[in-house]
Each structure stands twice: as C-alpha cells, then as structure tokens.
Amino acid sequence: MSTIVIKRGTKAPTTSNLTRIGEMAIDYYNHKVYIRTASKVICINSTDTGAANSTA
C-alpha cells in the first residue's frame, strides 16, 4: 500500500524542498499547488479560483 504525502508551507517550494520527481506541495498563503519535475518546481494552478474563506 502506498502513502501520498503532500508538503505544505506558506511560500513557493524550491527543488531543495521537493527532492523527488512528482512530489507535491501546497502553498496555503497563496492558494497554489506545486509539483516537482525533473529539473524544476512548477505551479499547477496558476490562476486564483476566487474561493473565499468561510467562517462558521
């Protein structure tokens, strides 16, 4: 059985933060998702979704 681990933080990750190809990270501050490729880290949702924070 495999486990998927998504790293999280408050800024864009670097190749030092994501060491394996295909590794993912979430930037909670900017609401972006990143993935590591063979040579760099790319943002896979470059546009804002317009989602607002909700309160209970």
Q: 17 is written with which tokens?
A: 């933060």
- The pTM of the full predicted model, rounded to 2 decimals, is 0.74
First to last CA, the chain: 36
Of residues 3 and 1, more confidence is placed in 3
Sketch the domain layout of the chain as residue ranges. 6-43
CA distances in angstroms from 1 to 4, 6, 22, listed in the order given? 10, 17, 18
Convert the pLDDT of each residue in 2-14 to its tens digit. 788 899 999 999 9
DSSP string, the chain: -----EEEESS---TTT--STT-EEEETTTTEEEEE-SS-EEES--S---PPP---
Q: Give pLDDT, residue 3.
A: 81
Convert the pLDDT of each residue in 17-42 to its tens digit. 999 999 999 999 999 999 999 999 99
Q: Give pLDDT, residue 46.
A: 73
